[in-house]
With several copies, the nearest count.
Chain A
Amino acid sequence: MTRLSSDDFRALVTAMASAVADNAERLTELDRAIGDGDHGANMQRGFDAVAADLDTLAAKPLPEALKAAGMKLVMTVGGASGPLVGTFFMTLGKELPEEFDRAGFTEAFSKAVAAVAARGKSHQGQKTLLDVLFPMQAALEDGKSVGEIATIAGQAAEATIPILATRGRASFLGERSIGHMDPGAASVALLASVAASMLEQQP
């Protein structure tokens, strides 16, 4: 059984927020190519808001903390990615018991991915962040290690490059969306790698 302490939660959110800030320009650049060039700024606004609220959040039990963090993202990101990434964390919080084993986590993760797909009215293969979330879910179900899952997430983000976008703004570009990495996919892969390095350090 795992139990993410309040300090773990703090460290995780802090690491995610600083990774997003460090990569904001790259994420925005990706969005400039096939969107409206604000994805990095959107994500940074959202994670900065979560980080700013950390004292309040970390005082809650993990499920509540995750829900509140997701809600904060929904309220602050401002782009299409806000309700999607926010819904992911909100659902994870709703589904995750305070103490969980791998099976419990995998189940909560799957429900969170399904909620994101429902929120976006989208599915795998449309050049969106779901093209990273679904492979991560499969890797979890396959019993892959935390490090392997992060690697798979990175590869899945790369694999969005040749996809023709059929959802979100990139779909406006038709064929011209091919050849660029989806910014939302890049964000999710980034968050996965942050989570992985944290969890790998755990005993």
Chain B
Amino acid sequence: MNVGIVIVSHSPLVAEGAAQMVRQMVGDEVPLAWCGGDPSGGLGTSVEAITNAIESVWSEAGVAVLVDLGGAETNSEMAIEFIGEPRASRIVICNAPIVEGAIMAATEASGGAALSSVVATAEELSPL
């Protein structure tokens, strides 16, 4: 089972577009979910949507989460806490750019790499 990828943007368009780019690169080999938008559909994030996205791609190999701005990160941290152990410690928020990081992470995940190297690959990305 490959590491799952979750894309959390303030913008549903960014999240969906990044997911399409990921799919084009890695096909269906990687569990992939995205969410974006606040609970009333504006730009922002929703802890519930993030929680659902992570649960929908849950993999025993773990899940790498890509976020854009601060609120997306904090809300993702909350979602991971709500999901709780033992799964929480196998869900990692990458300190990486959302679009480029998602593509790199998914490409690495599609090769069956472990969560730690999926995250490292996304984070390695010097800006570009």
Q: How far is the CA of A110 from the CA of B48 in the complex (A)?
A: 28
With A78-B45, A80-B70 as known contacts, state yes or no: A172 contacts B104, CB within 8 Å: yes
In contact, A78 and B70 (Cβ under 8 angstroms): no
Residues of A within 8 A of B104 (CB): 172
In contact, A75 and B39 (Cβ under 8 angstroms): yes
Q: Select from chain A the residue with minimum beta-carbon distance to B74.
A: A83
In contact, A169 and B44 (Cβ under 8 angstroms): no
Q: How far is the CA of A119 from the CA of B45 in the complex (A)?
A: 16
Interface magnitude class on chain B = 20 to 34
A-B contact count (CB 8 A): 74
Interface string of A21-57 (1 = CB under 8 A from B): 0000000000010011110011001000000000000
In contact, B70 and A45 (Cβ under 8 angstroms): no
B103 interface residue per 8 A CB criterion: yes
Residues of A within 8 A of B42 (CB): 38, 41, 78
A168 interface residue per 8 A CB criterion: yes
**Measuring CB to CB, which residues of chain A are less than 8 angstroms from any residue of chain B?**
32, 35-38, 41-42, 45, 74-80, 82-84, 86-87, 119-120, 167-169, 172-174, 176
Given A41-B42, A119-B78, 15 more pairs with CB closer than 8 A: A36-B25, A38-B38, A38-B43, A75-B39, A75-B47, A76-B39, A77-B38, A78-B39, A78-B71, A82-B75, A83-B74, A83-B78, A119-B74, A169-B25, A172-B104
